[in-house]
Amino acid sequence: MKKLITITLIFSTISIASFARKVGETEITTEEGIEVFQNEKYYLLKKNVNIQSDRFKIKANLVKAYFDKDLYDIIKIESEDNVRLRSSKGIIANGEKINFSIKNEDIEVYGERSSLIYNSINMFSNEKIRVNNLTGEFNLEGNESELKTSTIQIFGSIINGEFITINEINEVQNLYVEDSNQVNIITDNINMFALRAKYNKKENVIELFENVKVIRGNETIIGDYANINTLTESYKVISNDKKKVKAIIINDNE
């Protein structure tokens, strides 16, 4: 009889206590259930899945959550179908699929119209965006990939780089961009085109390689290589054939 009362009490206590998420806890809700694979160490969460913790929120329709030591120890979340991720550090990501490695703070966003906004840095792609919040590394793959900050806009099929965070502001430190058709970099005053481009914050330099075109105001310079100082916005354009650097200057007054 005592045992029966104890079990009944356990039932009642758990029913009352287990509803609301407290600070430090992670709450996961689903509409169509959960499958726990104990040997393979993952959960499968189905339909209208909401994951909420102090550090992040995820919404998706199908989620595979891998755990390490035990069920509570989630280390990686793979989400599919209309995924939205928000982190307490200011990351907002949307995509068809998002992989989130919790310990490494590594986020991969896949699919058309993928986006990842991290404070002042906006990333868009039709294939893949990857950001590692610990190292600051990021990679964008796919045609029409775009990286945008308040001062610069970059288009290419591959955009690789690194940022650092100072006082909650992310600043791009270096960049490599390429596109088999055309890379496009736009600042307030200069519009740049090439097949490849590099940017280095320390040296305040943008380098352009192959099929280079630099447009500033009324002047357009065409060549094979350009070196642009991002502070002074002065630039040098070089052609492989030294005679063939082409400058077009349009006078608005004429």
* Segment interacting with other proteins, rule: CB under 8 A, options 12-20, 82-90, 94-102, 153-161: 12-20
**Residue 5 contacts other proteins per CB under 8 A:** no
Closest residue by Cα to residue 154 from 181, 128, 176: 176
Which secondary-structure segment (H or E) carries 2?
Answer: helix 2-17
For other proteins, the closer of residues 26 and 174 by Cβ is: 26
Q: How many residues comprise the chain?
A: 254
Q: Which of 16, 39, 188, 251 binds other proteins (CB under 8 A)?
A: 39
For other proteins, the closer of residues 45 and 123 by Cβ is: 45
**DSSP result, 119-175:** TTEEEEESSEEEEETTT-EEEEEEEEEEEE-SS-EEEEEEEEEEEEEETTEEEEEEE
Q: Which of residues 169-208 bind other proteins (CB under 8 A)?
A: none
* Segment interacting with other proteins, rule: CB under 8 A, options 27-35, 123-131, 151-159, 163-171: 27-35
> Could you identify the residue written with the tokens 């979340």?
77
* Segment interacting with other proteins, rule: CB under 8 A, options 25-33, 77-85, 105-113, 178-186: 25-33
Number of shown-chain residues binding other proteins (CB under 8 A): 33
**Residue 88 contacts other proteins per CB under 8 A:** no
Q: What is the dihedral of CA 68, 69, 72, 75, to 10 degrees?
A: -20
* Segment interacting with other proteins, rule: CB under 8 A, options 69-77, 107-115, 174-182, 239-247: 69-77
**DSSP result, 163-223:** EEEETTEEEEEEEEEEEEEEEEEE-SSEEEEEEEEEEETTTTEEEEEEEEEEEETTEEEEE
For other proteins, the closer of residues 13 and 240 by Cβ is: 13
**Residue 7 contacts other proteins per CB under 8 A:** yes
Q: Which of 9, 27, 55, 181 binds other proteins (CB under 8 A)?
A: 27
91, HSE (Cβ side, Cα atoms, 13 Å): 27
Residues that bind other proteins (CB under 8 A): 4, 7-8, 10-11, 14-15, 18-19, 21-22, 24-39, 43, 70-74
